[in-house]
Structure 1
Amino acid sequence: MPFLNRIQRWADERPHDTAVVIAGRRLSWLEFRDSAAALVAHAKSVTALCEANSVDFASKFAAAVAGGRQCAVLDPAWPAQLQEDIRRRVEASALPAAVSPDDELADGVPEGTFLIGLTSGTTSVPKAFTRSRRSWQSSFDASIGFFGLRQDDVTLAPGPLAASLNLYALAECLYAGSEFQTLESFDVGDVHAAITHDRVTRLVLVPTMLRMLSERGLTGCVDASGVRTIICAGSKLDARTLEAARRWAPNATIFEYYGASELSFVSGAGLPARQLAVHGGTGIGRPFPGVDVRILDDAGLPLPDGAAGNICVRSPMVSNGYLWGDDGQALKSIAGWYTVGDQGYLADGELHILGRRADMILTAGRNVYPHEVELALSAVPGVSAAVAAGMPDDLRGQRVVAGVVPSHGAVTATQLRAGLEELLARDKRPLQYYLLAELPVTDRGKVSRSLLLDWIKSRDPRVRGLGG
């Protein structure tokens, strides 16, 4: 069972406790159960749900996975033509189960598919993969224990529910019987107000959001001492974000983890309250409970400690595979181990992530991962944030370039080069530096290396070359 049987339980045991608060509207467990149950009779065997954040979204999602039903959650920010294309593909590709208007708000069989996940996309058609109820229950049991989710927690995930990070956080809280909150759309002031007035104890968000909340919270004296858990996903936290978050929320354990929509959780680590972090490393913790991790080469042979290769996992949380878009690279099985193409290595039981093979920069015959360059640059004094990419080069094939957002005042290329001397091998250091007015990010708040290259190529006013 993913979470519907649990909703029935919480509605019986704690009918008037708060279940969800979305865009300022509150539903108790009884109200949420009844609103979702009333929609089951109208829910099709396969639903393509495309709505902005609201309590109606939450109720419709619950109804859309009742019994043997399946649901695909579409991003309302996608162009209308893309949305329509996805709906047609979902209806044509999914294998519907028998459903009845008389079905109750209850979970279907554990092995059955209930969720059709979609990778994010704007110009190309997203890939679609499927998940069983059992895989999500395994994920819930692992994440609730690892992150220490309690029923008296109030979780705020301020991003779009169409994003897998936030959709999972909603379902996890429904499963655990813990209050879930989100906003109509992300706004720093609204998040700060929720933390101040709504007893928020737990944040689930991406690094760019945490950076803004922490820095502006410190400037505006927003009290985050009541936050006891921060869970960050999407990329490893850079030094400046971690430093700001630690100062702003001194009582929080700050978790970062590695995972993928197709794999679920792989590894993670928590920085206990008031403990300072060691900056500049690529370590992303130890494997999650129930997850086995190996580093394999392309032939499926295990690599020794410290040797980089494919990060491969075995876990009950892995998705079933793809409905469409399987190019043989996105989710691969190597000798019975699964990988999404991320590269990394193991050292003393800790997983170090280097990044996607597709992001790898091949320069003068050497492999350089932008993620490693960015982490090192973010630890240099005077750097607020950094993004690295590979630019075409007639001599080297590609050359490493980097854009930096200064933390205060000006920063020079000479300062950056000097700061990297003890942090990064010479052949991984950027050959060109650019000063950024802001980070190049997607509409979902993720840093985009391709957008950095577009800015440089088009001489965008938000980027300018840095001299020595």
Structure 2
Amino acid sequence: MLVATATTRGAARGITTGEPKAPVRHTWGEVHERARRMAGGLVAGGLAKHGAVAVLAAEPVTIAPAVQAVWLAGGSVTMLHQPTPRTDLAEWAEDTVRVLAMIGSKLVLLGSPFDAVAPVLDQHGIGYLRLEDLDGEPLSEVVSVDEDAPALLQLTSGSTAEPKAVRITHGNLFANLTSMAEASALDVDNDIMVSWLPLFHDMGMVGFLTVPMTVGLELVKVTPVDFLTGPLLWADLISRHRGTITAAPNFAYALLGRRLSGVDEEGKYDLSSLRLALNGAEPIDEKAVLAFTDAGARFGLRPECVFPAYGMAEATLAVSFAPLLGGLTLDYIDAEQLEAENRAVPVEPGPDARSFAILGKPLRGIEASIVDDDGKVLGEREVGEIRLRGEAVTPGYLTVDGPLATQDADGWLDTGDLGYIVDGQIVICGRRKDVIILAGRNIYPTDIERAAASVEGVRAGNAVAVRIDAGSRRERFAVVVESKHAGDAEQEKRLRKEVGARVFESVNARPVAVAVLPPGTLPKTPSGKLRRAAAGEQLAATLQS
């Protein structure tokens, strides 16, 4: 399909990169021709069929043909976690060596802006080729592989010291790609994707590179650094390119909403073209969504474009999409019955209600069911673990200890997510491992974190609830927040008091401690999600002493 698209629609649709300073557009046909030469170079250099290739680069203009080249040559792609200015390069190199051994790769394709790490790779005996130097005679014929051959070895979020890669086959990728295109009603002639998402994350790699490159959709692609340096660039790109589809996690929508609210010039942006603003990668925060839609309204943004989704790398990318143009729909349920009885009993909005986003029905080819701790299938509005099976579900992981199957004898994958079904649609409550158990109550950390984040001075999206003495009769929880006031004794005292009070109002339980940290110190995954377990480890010694 990818080759067919490149040789047909590839002349009309393509990818624009380099915004805003030096925009350049390449058609998918041009990307394909570059990929054929790169694939020729890979094969001539000894890449074998099913060979694993790691990529360390940030610029979409070089990543797109490199990924396609590896597939044309019959290999699999792994996007390496990228070092940041704060990364200890020696530790990063050791972790990278473990990842390469795990996936069986002896080759890294190295591109801007990571050329500077070449000496570190040399020092550790890691073979690499610079993307700018990768060239050869165009590959005359695609190296054919079976559907069950790996296409992507997607590194999971979390500690790279204990790496794990999701083995996404060509069959998985094609199944999820086509079902996503169907469920989102992709219009290849008129839709335009705009994205800054990192390509080492599944939403960026699959949703906002592989999909448009395969179906021949117009794509405007910048880097996460471009967005974080100037968040209003996102709105500017949607306006100038008449973007119809975009995606991001909560924090980005909240951030853009804040920046848009500070724009004085009327008509500076035009967001009326936006058809789908996908929200995924973590439990959806209605306050983040409202910040985005309220601030964007005066620039033509329609609230119904909000597109809640449930996804995970183990299902290639997407599990379910909310109904098109339905906006954010919340299910309000009784907090006490959720916590004590694992039932989602609908109630009117109010102080005793909990709200969760309704995430739509599973995509074509995916089944979902809810089970209790004994594996018994539960009914509608009964809360349990979500399990999945279907064409897009990975057959297994690669780990440092060898392959690990993900499916049981009947093909079911246990997701580790807790949720329920309502009218055939999936609702996510949280991660099983993060739920805090107090006196028989199941308290979801997102409720604690949203309460803490509502306190003035706490950085939006930077509050985390952590379990203390998890699984014991003494289980407790603490709250860690980031604030620009860290270090100011009076302000820290106020924050601890107000966070504690706000959390108690929300969940009727007090944290044993509230820690206030400077901005940028909370541990996060490479894709930007907070790492509750790592934050807990940081606090454990202090709180248990």
Shorter-chain TM-score range = 0.7 to 0.9
> CA 1:68 to 1:329, structure 2 compared with 1: closer, same or farther past 3 Å?
closer
Structure 2 residue 40 is matched with structure 1 residue 41: yes
Q: 2:195 aligns with which of 153, 157, 173?
A: 157
> CA 1:144 to 1:57, structure 2 compared with 1: closer, same or farther past 3 Å?
same
1:266 — aligned with what? 319
> CA 1:104 to 1:208, structure 2 compared with 1: closer, same or farther past 3 Å?
farther
> CA 1:122 to 1:289, structure 2 compared with 1: closer, same or farther past 3 Å?
closer
> CA 1:272 to 1:30, structure 2 compared with 1: closer, same or farther past 3 Å?
closer
- Summarize deviations over 1:59-81 as a string: whole Å, max 9, x none: 01001011532222222328122
Q: Which has the higher helix share?
A: 2
1:87 — aligned with what? 100
Structure 2 residue 268 is matched with structure 1 residue 215: no
Report the CA distance between 1:208 and its aligned residue: 1.6
Report the CA distance between 1:365 and its aligned residue: 4.4
CA contact (8 A) 2:36 2:139 kept: no
Within 2, Cα distance between the matches of 1:287 and 1:394?
Answer: 33
Within 2, Cα distance between the matches of 1:394 and 1:293?
Answer: 28
1:197 — aligned with what? 240
> CA 1:434 to 1:69, structure 2 compared with 1: closer, same or farther past 3 Å?
closer
- Summarize deviations over 1:44-103 as a string: whole Å, max 9, x none: 232222222231111010010115322222223281222233223322799xxxxx9855
- Summarize deviations over 1:132-155 as a string: whole Å, max 9, x none: 222111111221222333222221
Q: Structure 1 stretch 245-254 or stretch 387-396: which is displaced more? A: 387-396
Counterpart secondary structure, 2:41: coil
Within 2, Cα distance between the matches of 1:110 and 1:218?
Answer: 48
Report the CA distance between 1:415 and its aligned residue: 8.5
> CA 1:411 to 1:27, structure 2 compared with 1: closer, same or farther past 3 Å?
same
- Summarize deviations over 1:445-465 as a string: whole Å, max 9, x none: 212324544676799xxxxxx
Within 2, Cα distance between the matches of 1:163 and 1:311?
Answer: 22
1:387 — aligned with what? 464
Counterpart secondary structure, 1:125: coil
Within 2, Cα distance between the matches of 1:6 and 1:107?
Answer: 17
2:309 — aligned with what? 257
2:8 — aligned with what? 9
Q: Structure 1 stretch 209-218 or stretch 109-118: which is displaced more? A: 109-118
What fraction of aligned residue pairs are identical, expressed as a percent?
23
CA contact (8 A) 2:184 2:324 kept: no
CA contact (8 A) 2:191 2:217 kept: yes
Report the CA distance between 1:277 and its aligned residue: 6.2
Residue segments in structure 2 that go unaligned for 5+ positions in a row? 84-88, 108-136, 333-353, 484-490
> CA 1:346 to 1:33, structure 2 compared with 1: closer, same or farther past 3 Å?
same
> CA 1:4 to 1:209, structure 2 compared with 1: closer, same or farther past 3 Å?
farther
For 1:80, give the aligned amino acid: A
Within 2, Cα distance between the matches of 1:322 and 1:353?
Answer: 23
Q: 1:318 aligns with which of 377, 384, 393?
A: 393
TM-score of the superposed pair, with normalisation by structure 2: 0.70
CA contact (8 A) 1:4 1:105 kept: no
Q: 2:17 aligns with which of 15, 21, 30?
A: 21
Counterpart secondary structure, 1:341: strand
Report the CA distance between 1:9 and its aligned residue: 2.7
For 1:85, give the aligned amino acid: R
1:233 — aligned with what? 280
Counterpart secondary structure, 1:42: helix
Within 1, Cα distance between the matches of 2:472 and 2:327?
Answer: 48
Counterpart secondary structure, 1:319: coil
Report the CA distance between 1:381 and its aligned residue: 10
Counterpart secondary structure, 1:131: strand
CA contact (8 A) 1:19 1:29 kept: yes
1:73 — aligned with what? 79
Within 2, Cα distance between the matches of 1:69 and 1:212?
Answer: 38
2:346 — aligned with what? none
1:281 — aligned with what? 355
Within 1, Cα distance between the matches of 2:279 and 2:472?
Answer: 39
For 1:130, give the aligned amino acid: R
Q: 1:60 aligns with which of 52, 60, 66?
A: 66
Report the CA distance between 1:328 and its aligned residue: 10
> CA 1:356 to 1:266, structure 2 compared with 1: closer, same or farther past 3 Å?
same
- Summarize deviations over 1:251-286 as a string: whole Å, max 9, x none: 251112222101232233258478786785124423
Number of residue-to-residue matches in the alignment? 447
Q: How does 1:46-445 map to 2 (within 5 A)?
A: 46=51, 47-66=53-72, 68-77=74-83, 79-91=92-104, 102-105=139-142, 108-151=145-188, 152-168=190-206, 169-186=208-225, 187-188=227-228, 189=230, 190-220=233-263, 223=269, 224-249=271-296, 250-251=301-302, 253-264=305-316, 265-269=318-322, 272=325, 280-290=354-364, 291-324=366-399, 331-333=406-408, 335-375=410-450, 384-385=460-461, 386-392=463-469, 397-403=474-480, 413=497, 417=501, 424=507, 426=508, 430=511, 433=514, 438=519, 440=522, 442=524, 443-445=526-528
Report the CA distance between 1:392 and its aligned residue: 4.0
Report the CA distance between 1:311 and its aligned residue: 0.5
Counterpart secondary structure, 1:400: strand
CA contact (8 A) 2:151 2:173 kept: no
> CA 1:273 to 1:434, structure 2 compared with 1: closer, same or farther past 3 Å?
farther
- Summarize deviations over 1:15-65 as a string: whole Å, max 9, x none: 144334356332112211211111121222322222222311110100101
- Summarize deviations over 1:181-230 as a string: whole Å, max 9, x none: 22244324243442343333322222222221221122125523333321
Counterpart secondary structure, 1:48: strand
> CA 1:239 to 1:405, structure 2 compared with 1: closer, same or farther past 3 Å?
farther
- Summarize deviations over 1:274-326 as a string: whole Å, max 9, x none: 87867851244232222221111343221233333220112211012123357
For 1:144, give the aligned amino acid: A
Report the CA distance between 1:382 and its aligned residue: 9.8
CA contact (8 A) 1:251 1:273 kept: no
CA contact (8 A) 1:294 1:302 kept: yes
Taking only aligned residues, the RMSD between alpha carbons, in angstroms, comes to 3.8
> CA 1:389 to 1:88, structure 2 compared with 1: closer, same or farther past 3 Å?
closer
For 1:200, give the aligned amino acid: G
